[in-house]
Amino acid sequence: MFPTFIVICTILCLKSTHCSNETVKIDYDEDLVETLKVVNVIIRWIDGILAVTGCFFGNLFTYLTASYMQAHGQVNVASAIFLRWLAVADFLSGFWDGLVRAWLSLFDIKIEQMNVWFCKFGVFHNSASTRAAAYVLSAFTIDRCFALMAPIRYRNMTKVVTYARCMCIGAYVLAYLFASPKVYIMDINAKGKCVQSAEAHQTFSEYHKLFISYFALMFLPSAVIFFCNVVIIFSLRKTSSAKKSDGKNKQSNSVTRLLLSASFFFLICNICVTLCSQFTYKTTENELEVQIKNLFSGVSNFFSVSNNAANFFLYIILGPSFRKAFLQMCGLAGK
Express each pLDDT in 204-249 by its tens digit.
555 455 455 555 566 778 888 888 888 888 877 776 665 555 555 6
pLDDT of residue 316: 92
Closest residue by Cα to residue 101 from 39, 45, 152: 45
Task: Please report the pLDDT score of residue 173 as a whole number.
Answer: 93
pLDDT of residue 62: 95
- Report the pLDDT value the prediction gives residue 250, as an integer from 0 to 100: 65
144, 256 contact by CB (below 8 A): yes
pLDDT of residue 14: 43
27-51 mean pLDDT: 82
Q: What's the distance, Cα to Cα, between the start and end of the chain in Å?
A: 38
Which has the closest alpha carbon to 185: 277, 280, 119, 273? 119
Residues 6+ apart with CB under 8 A from 111: 100, 104, 118, 122
What is the radius of gyration, based on Cα positions, of the chain? Answer: 22
| Per-residue pLDDT at 19 exceeds 50 | no
292 CB contacts (<8 Å, ≥6 apart)?
Answer: 10, 13, 14, 17, 36, 279
Question: What average pLDDT is seen over the chain?
Answer: 78
Residue 82: per-residue pLDDT: 93
pTM over 0.75: yes
* Rounded Cα–Cα distance for residues 141 and 222 (Å): 11
Is pLDDT above 80 for 111? no
Would you place residue 329 in the very low, low, confident or very high pLDDT band (cuts 50, 70, 90)?
very high
CB-CB contact of 88 with 175 (8 Å)? no
What does the pLDDT read at residue 179?
A: 82
DSSP H or E stretch at residue 207: helix 206-207
Number of H helices, E strands in the chain: 15, 4
What contacts 141, CB < 8 A, 6 or more positions away? 224, 225, 228, 229, 232, 259, 263
Per the CB < 8 A criterion, the answer to whether 47 and 130 are in contact is no
**Gap between the Cα atoms of 143 and 162, Å rounded:** 13
pLDDT for the residue numbered 64: 95
Residue 214's alpha-carbon distances to 36, 217, 227, in angstroms, are 29, 5, 18
pLDDT at 57 over 60: yes
| The pLDDT of residue 307 is above 70 | yes
Cα distance between residue 40 and residue 290, in whole Å = 11
Instruction: For residues 217 and 270, give the distance between their C-alpha atoms in angstroms, rounded to a whole number.
Output: 10
Mean pLDDT on 28-32? 71
Determine the Cα–Cα distance for residues 334 and 315; give it in Å rounded to an integer.
19
Report the C-alpha gap between 106 and 99 in whole angstroms: 10
**Helix, strand or coil for residue 192?**
coil
CA-closest candidate to residue 309, choices 131, 95, 105: 95
Strands 194-196 and 186-188: antiparallel
Q: Which three-class secondary structure state does DSSP give residue 159?
A: coil
Query: Packing angle between helix 287-309 and helix 2-15, nearest 10 degrees?
Result: 160
Q: What is the pLDDT of residues 237-247, one digit of tens each?
A: 776 665 555 55
Greatest Cα pair distance, the chain, in angstroms, is 69
Q: Quote the CA–CA distance of 302 and 159 in Å, as a whole number.
A: 39
